[in-house]
């Protein structure tokens, strides 16, 4: 129980963690593959290790939009299509502490969304067109 409380991925079990690779960098990710996990996202986290993130997996590919309500850390939001090709990189998206939070759209159909610490995309040269490689155990259909 103490490990769960101390974890940067509160509410995620070890079984819901995996990895992705992009721009020759491997990130440990918490998986958000069902609606409750996708709605919670990285809300209320006060910090996240540099080589960690969260991968949102959806059952379909369509334009997406994320917001930062109750998110306490700045993030890079990276959208990828069903082939893992990055279609949009939003850098240094700030936390939202107001009642009305802006949304950050993908501008293109996306099946996956990767959230990393702000600055990660610049630090590792993550750009549109790069390929997001998923660990074999990550579901591709957005179902747990």
109-125: per-residue pLDDT in tens? 999 999 999 999 999 99
Residue 11, pLDDT > 50, answer no
- DSSP 8-class letter at 95: P
User: Which residue ranges form the domains of the chain, and what is each CATH number?
Assistant: 22-133 (2.60.120.1140)
At 143, the pLDDT band (50, 70, 90 cuts) reads low
Burial (CB < 10 A; 0-12, 13-18, 19+), residue 83, is exposed
Q: What is the pLDDT of residues 53-107, one digit of tens each?
A: 999 999 999 999 999 988 999 999 999 999 999 999 999 999 998 889 999 999 9
Give the DSSP H/E element, type plus range, for residue 34.
none
> Rounded to 10 degrees, what is the CA torsion of 70, 59, 29, 37?
40
- In this predicted model, which residue has the larger pLDDT, 126 or 143? 126
Give the global pTM: 0.86
Strand arrangement of the beta sheet that strand 133-134 belongs to:
86-93, 75-80, 103-117, 52-67, 25-32, 17-22, 133-134
- Cβ-Cβ contacts under 8 Å for 115 (sequence gap 6 or more): 41, 42, 53, 54, 55, 56, 66, 75, 76, 77, 78
- Residue 128's alpha-carbon distances to 31, 43, 81, in angstroms, are 22, 26, 11
pLDDT score of 59: 94
């Amino acid at each position: 129980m103490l490990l769960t409380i101390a974890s940067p991925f509160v509410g995620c079990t070890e079984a819901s963690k995996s990895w992705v690779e992009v721009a020759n960098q491997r990130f440990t990710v918490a998986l958000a593959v069902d609606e409750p996990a996708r709605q919670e996202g990285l809300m209320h986290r006060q910090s996240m290790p540099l080589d960690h993130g969260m991968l949102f997996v959806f059952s379909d590919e369509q334009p997406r939009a994320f917001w930062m309500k109750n998110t306490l850390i700045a993030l890079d939001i990276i959208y990828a299509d069903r082939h893992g090709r990055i279609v949009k990189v939003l850098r240094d998206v700030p936390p939202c502490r107001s009642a009305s939070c802006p949304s950050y759209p993908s501008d293109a159909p996306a099946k996956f969304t990767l959230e990393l610490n702000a600055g990660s995309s610049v630090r590792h040269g993550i750009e549109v067109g790069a390929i997001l490689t998923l660990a074999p155990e990550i579901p591709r259909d957005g179902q747990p």
